Chains A and B, each alone.
Chain A
Amino acid sequence: MLIDWFTVIAQVINFLILVWLLKHFLYRPILDAIDAREKKIASELSDAAVKKSEALKERNQFLQQNEVFKRQHAELMAKAIEDATSEKRHLLENARQDIERLRLKQLEALNSEQQSSIAMLNRRMRDEVNSILRKVLIDLSGLSLEEHVIEVFISRLRLLDDSGINRLNLAFMASDNPMVISTVFDLPLELRKRVESVIKEIFGESARTEFTIAPDLICGIELNANGQKLSWNIAGYLDALGKDVDELMNIRFRSEAEDKSNHAQNGDEHGNGT
């Protein structure tokens, strides 16, 4: 008989023991180790996936922030350029106003200088003319200039119409003051009497006179009856001459000032251009 039943039973028991042993020492530890490793790999993979998604999120966030920064940068740049342009415009305007102010001040200074020059020139011219005239009149007539002036004044008085005489007379009558005769020079007594007699002849015996010296009257004489005046002098002629001279000087100074201003403006523009 090939089958030994005792051996069969023994082998069945042996086999079952071997099943238990291998289950305990081989399959379970090996399968557990494999499971643990798979779990570890799965967790590492899921960690990696989480990190990847986080990285993607951060990347997107970074890109978004970068975009915002770029936009803000562009906006700030545009604003800065706009501010700088307006500031430049403002500064240029200020500079222009300053230049204009300086130009006006310069013009004023020039004008005042011109005025003072003209005034001085006038004065000197009047004096010169006065002395020349005086000399000429003396040389020509052989009379003193005062006499000649008195003669002219007397002839003027005589030529006065009634309304003129009345106006002067009324003015004289309205106050207690005497009629004031102003001359540049001190009249000699002889001439004074002559003038007084002519006045009394025209305005009556009651007319009182007083003689004063007025250096402003250039080579002339003035009768002042309480504000009403009758005068003759060469100041009028000199004034007309002075006005002509002023006109001429004004034209010359104006053209010079304009030339200077134009020159300054051109220089300014060149400066801005560079």
Chain B
Amino acid sequence: MHLSPDDIIYWQYGYIRLNATIVFTWGVMFVLAIGSKLVTRNLSADLQRSRWQNLLEMVVTSINQQIRDVGLVKPEKYIGFLGTLFLFIAISNLITVVPGYEPPTGSLSTTTALAICVFMAVPIYGIEERGLLEYLGAYLKPALIMLPFNIISEFSRTLALAVRLFGNMMSGTMILAILLTITPFIFPIVMSALGLLTGMVQAYIFSILATVYIAAATQVQKPEP
């Protein structure tokens, strides 16, 4: 039994290892990219449009609205990063219904990679929006003594992001695997359904937390009247 899809290695050449995490990630990327390309190939700007276009428009506008609700005034700027984050995690988790599929999000390497992306995106967007000095100055607020705590907070929340997603997905997979050995009927199906719900919730939590972090970093301090 594998604790992480990283352990399933299909091909190895020295340090380079082509494991299940990477392969299934490619699969998810393929599904997302090809699916999007197929739907957006014949987009209509009229009032009449295909149901797939409707679905994608609904997904995109919902993500846009969520980003705006959190406090980012220009959601179009962030939807590429935050929307992809949500869609990647959600699709990765939803495809668990396919037998033999190992969700890439069940690998701590993947969640770490995503957390690192968020960790990097926060200062990039923050500096872009507020400027380097103002962004760095935020670490000194409300007092200089808060600097180490702010830095610790940055790292700890990144770690929390990675571990939270990994823990949830890994536990789901583990429970399913354990249940299959104990009670092969009924229960695995229920747990699988529950796993789908958990997967969607985790995708939402991960992306919304990333949005909140970016929003906090890009928030321009307005002078008090």
Contacts of A16 in B (CB 8 A): 117
Q: Does B116 contact A (CB under 8 A)?
A: yes
Q: Indicate if the CB atoms of A6 and B56 lie closer than 8 Å.
A: no
Q: Indicate if the CB atoms of A27 and B80 lie closer than 8 Å.
A: yes
Q: Does A57 contact B (CB under 8 A)?
A: no
List the one stretch of A32-40, A130-138, A192-200 in contact with chain B. A32-40
Q: Does B112 contact A (CB under 8 A)?
A: yes
Q: Indicate if the CB atoms of B32 and A14 lie closer than 8 Å.
A: no
Q: Does A215 contact B (CB under 8 A)?
A: no
**Per-residue CB proximity of B19-55 to A under 8 Å, as 1/0?**
1011001100100110011001001111100000100
Q: Does A80 contact B (CB under 8 A)?
A: no
CB distance from B135 to the nearest CB of A (A): 22
Q: Indicate if the CB atoms of B113 and A11 lie closer than 8 Å.
A: yes
- Decide: A10 near B22, CB < 8 A? Known: A3-B112, A4-B17, A36-B45: yes
**Per-residue CB proximity of B73-111 to A under 8 Å, as 1/0?**
000100111011101100000000000000010011110
Contacts of A31 in B (CB 8 A): 60, 64, 76, 79
Q: Indicate if the CB atoms of B83 and A22 lie closer than 8 Å.
A: yes
Bound CA span A108–B117, Å? 134
Bound CA span A9–B117, Å? 10
Contact of B43 (CB < 8 Å), options: A12, A22, A30: A30
Please report which residues of chain A, range 13-49, place their CB below 8 angstroms from some CB of chain B when the two chains form the complex.
14-19, 21-23, 25-27, 29-34, 36-37, 40
Q: With a 10 A CB-CB cut-off, give which of A9, A14, A17 has the most chain B CB atoms.
A: A14
Contacts of B47 in A (CB 8 A): 37
Q: Indicate if the CB atoms of B117 and A2 lie closer than 8 Å.
A: no
Contacts of B108 in A (CB 8 A): 2-3
Q: Indicate if the CB atoms of A18 and B45 lie closer than 8 Å.
A: no
Q: Indicate if the CB atoms of A19 and B84 lie closer than 8 Å.
A: yes
- Decide: A6 near B16, CB < 8 A? Known: A33-B45, A34-B57: yes
Secondary structure of the A contact surface, majority rule: helix
**Per-residue CB proximity of B130-148 to A under 8 Å, as 1/0?**
0000000000000000000
Contacts of A29 in B (CB 8 A): 40, 43
Q: Does A7 contact B (CB under 8 A)?
A: yes
Q: Does A8 contact B (CB under 8 A)?
A: yes
CB distance from B108 to the nearest CB of A (A): 4
Q: Indicate if the CB atoms of B109 and A7 lie closer than 8 Å.
A: yes
Bound CA span A2–B159, Å? 14
Per the CB 8 Å criterion, the residue count for chain B at the interface is 48
Contact of B57 (CB < 8 Å), options: A11, A22, A33: A33
Contacts of B16 in A (CB 8 A): 6
- Decide: A26 near B60, CB < 8 A? Known: A4-B19, A8-B116, A18-B32: yes
Q: Does B176 contact A (CB under 8 A)?
A: no
Q: Indicate if the CB atoms of A11 and B37 lie closer than 8 Å.
A: no
CB distance from A65 to the nearest CB of B (A): 38
Bound CA span A22–B32, Å? 8
Q: Indicate if the CB atoms of A18 and B6 lie closer than 8 Å.
A: no
Q: Does B150 contact A (CB under 8 A)?
A: no
Contact of B107 (CB < 8 Å), options: A7, A18, A32: A7
**Per-residue CB proximity of A91-126 to B under 8 Å, as 1/0?**
000000000000000000000000000000000000
Please report which residues of chain A, range 174-226, place their CB below 8 angstroms from some CB of chain B when the two chains form the complex.
none
Q: Indicate if the CB atoms of B113 and A6 lie closer than 8 Å.
A: no
Query: Nearest chain-B residue to A22 (Cβ)?
Result: B84
Bound CA span A109–B136, Å? 135
Contacts of A10 in B (CB 8 A): 22, 113
Contact of B112 (CB < 8 Å), options: A8, A18, A26: A8
Contacts of B22 in A (CB 8 A): 7, 10-11, 14
Bound CA span A130–B3, Å? 179
Q: Indicate if the CB atoms of B36 and A12 lie closer than 8 Å.
A: no
Q: Indicate if the CB atoms of B21 and A15 lie closer than 8 Å.
A: no
Apart from A21-B36, A27-B80: 8 A-B pairs, beta carbons within 8 A: A6-B17, A9-B113, A18-B88, A19-B84, A26-B60, A27-B79, A27-B83, A31-B79
What are 26 inter-chain pairs, A to B, with CB distance below 8 A? Answer: A2-B4, A2-B166, A3-B108, A4-B17, A6-B16, A7-B6, A7-B22, A7-B110, A7-B113, A11-B22, A11-B25, A11-B110, A11-B113, A14-B26, A15-B85, A15-B88, A15-B114, A19-B80, A19-B84, A22-B84, A22-B87, A23-B80, A26-B36, A29-B43, A34-B57, A37-B45
- Interface residue ranges, B against A (CB under 8 Å): 3-4, 6, 15-17, 19, 21-22, 25-26, 29, 32-33, 36-37, 40, 43-47, 53, 56-57, 60-61, 64, 76, 79-81, 83-85, 87-88, 104, 107-110, 112-114, 116-117, 166
